[in-house]
Structure 1
Amino acid sequence: MADLTQSDWVNQLKEDENAVILDVRTAAEVAEGKIPNTLHIDIYKGQGFVYEVDALDKSKSFYVYCRSGGRSAQACNIMNQLGFEKTYNLLGGFNEWTGDVE
């Protein structure tokens, strides 16, 4: 896992043709807005989160975010334990996001 500032996260994401953006917030948080083109899996699903994430393509790069960066760091750690090698945590999360929102 790597913790990236928003500018590093966005720049690296633009260059990564094998990228998936993963939002690990709750459905209520997502309803307030999200980064475009994201996959949503709520980390609060517990074991359900683990099952859903484990089914994803481990060869891809995952750019993970939550509201402030804590849950996404936890999600990256879980993913690393499941065999994902490229996980990138957005420092500051959606609270500090200044890019496009849908």
Structure 2
Amino acid sequence: MYENIDEEEFAEKLAADDNAVLLDVRTQQEWDSGYIKDAILLDFFNPEFPKEVEKLDKAKNYYIYCRSGNRSGQACGLMEGMGFTGELYNLEGGVMAWTGDLEE
């Protein structure tokens, strides 16, 4: 079961997790306005999204965010259904709640 966690917990867990993958499920246009360092872009609205997710290592821990936390929550649910065995974390409030630095 995935967990919705706030920005502080998200940042702490991510920093301490050597099995972590950071996923940004926003659009390319949203990504271009700034993203969290080391994130991988996988556009949730892309019809190929499920195929791209299927290629990911199911044993990794995934830290997932979007603009507001809605798409990333849906992505977490999808990944659960696809048999991901690692931890799944959704950033509550998405990148709009992120107070850390953003890359450009």
TM-score bracket for the superposition, by shorter chain length: over 0.9
Letter in 1 for 2:65: Y
> Residues of 2 paired with 1:43 and 1:4: CA distance?
20
| Aligned match of 2:102 | 101
Find the residue that maps to 2:23 and give its secondary structure: strand
> Normalised by the size of structure 1, how large is the TM-score?
0.96
RMSD, aligned α-carbons: 0.7
User: Percent of pairs identical after alignment?
Assistant: 45
Answering whether residue 50 of structure 2 is matched by residue 54 of structure 1, we say no
Find the residue that maps to 1:73 and give its secondary structure: helix
Instruction: Report the alpha carbon displacement of residue 82 of structure 1 after superposing the two structures with TM.
Output: 0.7
- Structure 1 runs (4+) deviating above 6 angstroms are none
**Corresponding pairs, count:** 101
**Runs (5+) with no aligned partner, structure 2:** none
> Normalised by the size of structure 2, how large is the TM-score?
0.94
Answering whether residue 66 of structure 2 is matched by residue 84 of structure 1, we say no
Judging by fraction of residues, say which structure has more helix: 1
**Runs (5+) with no aligned partner, structure 1:** none
> Residues of 2 paired with 1:7 and 1:61: CA distance?
17
